[in-house]
Amino acid sequence: MINKELDPTDTGILRLLQNDARLTHKELGQRLHKSITPIHARVRRLQDEGYIKRYAAILDPKKIGRGLIVYTQVQLKQHAQDSLLAFQAEVVKLSEVMECYHMTGAFDFLLRIAISDMDEYNHLVMNKLSILPDVGMMQSFFVMSEAKNESAYELGAGK
């Protein structure tokens, strides 16, 4: 459920920016039937309050040589706080790791990895992942095709 502090103008701004972060305050205002000044103030507030974390261009991984996407589950040998934090601190430094989640269940972490090919993945596993603190078991799943990849969250009850 959306935060109760957000009104329809706020959610409208967030919806529009999720789909095109290049929209100017003027364009946002036109689409939301508001003037530039209140739109500017609201965008600033949404940034300051952390609703908008950052702006980014979404790249095609195949066009930049990172077309092989791998989800790797990692189970650590030790589950003490210092072991979990040490692994996490090191794995997030790897440029191939695009996302890292501490998970419940049989595995401790789920990584989304973007690489060029199987040789690069082998190098990553053998020379970077397997030497991290307390790594026990790893299980990898290679993406064969992508049916949906959404970066925008649905906001509000009904659209």
Between the CA of residue 22 and those of 16, 27, 30, what are the distances in Å?
10, 10, 14
Mind giving me the DSSP string for 66-87? Answer: --EEEEEEEEES--SHHHHHHH
Report the predicted TM-score, pTM, of the whole model to 2 decimal places: 0.86
Give the CATH number for residue 73: 3.30.70.920
Q: Determine the Cα angle at 18 with ends 17 and 21, to 5°.
A: 45
- pLDDT of 5: 82
**62 domain-assigned:** no
114 and 75, same structural domain? yes
| Count of the separate structural domains present in the chain | 2
- pLDDT of 159: 42
Alpha-carbon gap, residue 128 to 115, rounded angstroms: 13
- Contact yes or no for 94/124 (Cβ under 8 A): yes
106 and 72, same structural domain? yes
What are the backbone dihedrals phi and psi of residue 3, each rounded to the nearest 5 degrees, phi first? Answer: -60, 135
**110 domain-assigned:** yes
C-alpha closest to that of 44 among 69, 63, 17: 17
16 and 78, same structural domain? no
97-102 and 68-76 strand pairing: unpaired
Return per-residue pLDDT of the chain as tens, 159 residues: 455 689 999 999 999 999 999 999 999 999 999 999 999 999 999 999 999 999 999 999 999 999 999 999 999 999 999 999 999 999 999 999 999 999 999 999 999 999 999 999 999 999 999 999 899 999 999 999 999 999 999 987 544
**152 domain-assigned:** no
- pLDDT of 139: 97
Q: Please tell me the number of Cα atoms within 13 Å of 2 on its side-chain side.
A: 18
- pLDDT of 156: 72
Give the CATH number for residue 43: 1.10.10.10
* Number of separate helices (H) and strands (E) present in the chain: 5, 4
- pLDDT of 4: 63
Segments forming the whole domain that contains residue 42? 8-48
Alpha-carbon gap, residue 75 to 155, rounded angstroms: 34
